[in-house]
Amino acid sequence: MKALQYRTIGAAPEVVTVPDPEPGPGQVVLRVSAAGVCHSDIAVMGWSAEDYPYGLPLTLGHEGVGTVAAVGPGVTSLPIGAPVAVYGPWGCGSCVKCAEGRENYCLRAAELGIFPPGLGAPGAMAEYMVVDDPRHLVPIDGMDPVATVPLTDAGLTPYHAVKRSLGTLAPGTTAVVIGTGGLGHVAIQLLRALTSARVVALDVSEDKLELARTVGAHEVVLSDANAAARVMELTGGRGAQGVFDFVGVEPTVRIAAGVASVESDVTIVGVGGAGLPVGFGLLPFEVNVTAPYWGTRSELIEVLELARSGAISVHTETFGLDDAPLAYERLHAGRINGRAVILPNG
Ligand code: NAD
Ligand code: ZN
Ligand code: ZN
């Protein structure tokens, strides 16, 4: 089968031919319908040989949707042909976090060498992919694979982030979304669907701000040196009760700190590597700063239900598998609006 692999540190990913996978005991092989292109892959492919934590070659793609093609011994619950979405942050299944469905925070994954597909294990940018356990699949009968696949990360990650702050985002509050790309444009919709906060969206690109407005941002602000002042003006000097940074670089965490109100939540989702020091007088009183990772199994089911109800929808651009390297180039250049989705089987 064909697969998109990251093969050499620092080089672009390549489409190669690899053996078709066979399901081992307890495993499921999916015929991949759609695979999402996440900016995290660009961060991964930017790491030096010392920092790179996975094996090579690595089949990319940690957002996957497909149909059940084959099941290994012991799998009885999944009919062949069933359409499913893959829950990516695989855990051990039996520690206390996994028992709660919080496999993104599995206590034993590192020790057991368990990695998400596309981030250590072979991922979804291939004609077929192996899923280690049926519990990592959610049925998506009747849902469009292209519109659904980004929900497994670009939906789930902001859903987890926004859900933590629902208690803070009361009527009359403001939520700020910094970076309105794949994750950010879903975050805006989640904030609109789940809260009555006023949503202010920031980006460096006019195209992205246009999309932000289309998907429900009340206000859009260019993310430049005046951005924090502009947001403070829009909030009558009070600042925002929820700030979601989907970039995570120095300029954006500084904006986040500059617009946070007292007792607000600042959530740094972007893996740009920047952080905020917390201490008396460094930030407004009682600001909670956090950096979450992905989301839980039950949250994936919830975010898929939200999409099924029509409350959120992902803006997508599709590419064939042969053009997947181009999709990464375009994302790197800031030229994908919404989420790029690869169609490995045409
Ligand atoms: P994306 O490229 O689709 O979106 C990023 C957006 O940020 C773009 O619209 C870009 O124009 C904008 N941007 C860049 N610099 C900016 C600035 N200075 N101010 C405001 N906006 C700016 O990327 P994505 O796939 O949505 O991922 C967003 C970030 O989230 C990435 O860092 C990714 O690695 C990270 N991520 C984290 C998790 C997690 O679990 N924590 C999960 C998925 C993705
Ligand atoms: Zn991702
Ligand atoms: Zn676990």
Tell me the mean pLDDT in the region 155-161.
99
Is the CB of 183 within 6 Å of ligand 1? yes
Angle (CA) 21-92-304 rounded to 5° is 75
Instruction: Tell me which residue has its CA closest to atom 4 in ligand 1.
Output: 181
- Predicted pLDDT at 106: 98
Tell me if 207 sits within 8 A of 337, measured CB to CB: yes
Is the CB of 294 within 6 Å of ligand 1? yes
- Predicted pLDDT at 1: 98
Tell me if 248 sits within 8 A of 271, measured CB to CB: yes
**Residue 135 predicted with pLDDT over 90:** yes
Q: Which two tokens stand for residue 91?
A: 């855990």
DSSP state of 126: B
Is the CB of 182 within 6 Å of ligand 1? yes
If you measure from the C-alpha of residue 296 to the centroid of ligand 1, how many angstroms do you get, rounded to a whole number? 20
pTM: 0.98
Q: Which two tokens stand for residue 12?
A: 């672009």
Tell me if 126 sits within 8 A of 261, measured CB to CB: no
- Predicted pLDDT at 202: 99
Tell me the mean pLDDT in the region 218-225.
98
Tell me: the pLDDT tens digits for 14-54?
999 999 999 999 999 999 999 999 999 999 999 999 999 99
Taking each helix axis from N to C end, the angle separating 182-194 and 206-214, rounded to the nearest 10 degrees, works out to 30
Domains of the chain: 2-153+295-343 (3.90.180.10), 156-290 (3.40.50.720)
Confidence of residue 346 (pLDDT cuts 50, 70, 90): confident
Confidence of residue 77 (pLDDT cuts 50, 70, 90): confident
Tell me: the pLDDT tens digits for 275-297?
999 999 999 999 999 999 999 99
The DSSP secondary structure of 84-97, one letter per residue, reads EEE--S---SSSHH
If you measure from the C-alpha of residue 174 to the centroid of ligand 2, how many angstroms do you get, rounded to a whole number? 26
Find, among 242, 332, 249, 330, the residue nearest to 289 by Cα: 242
Type of residue at 288: N
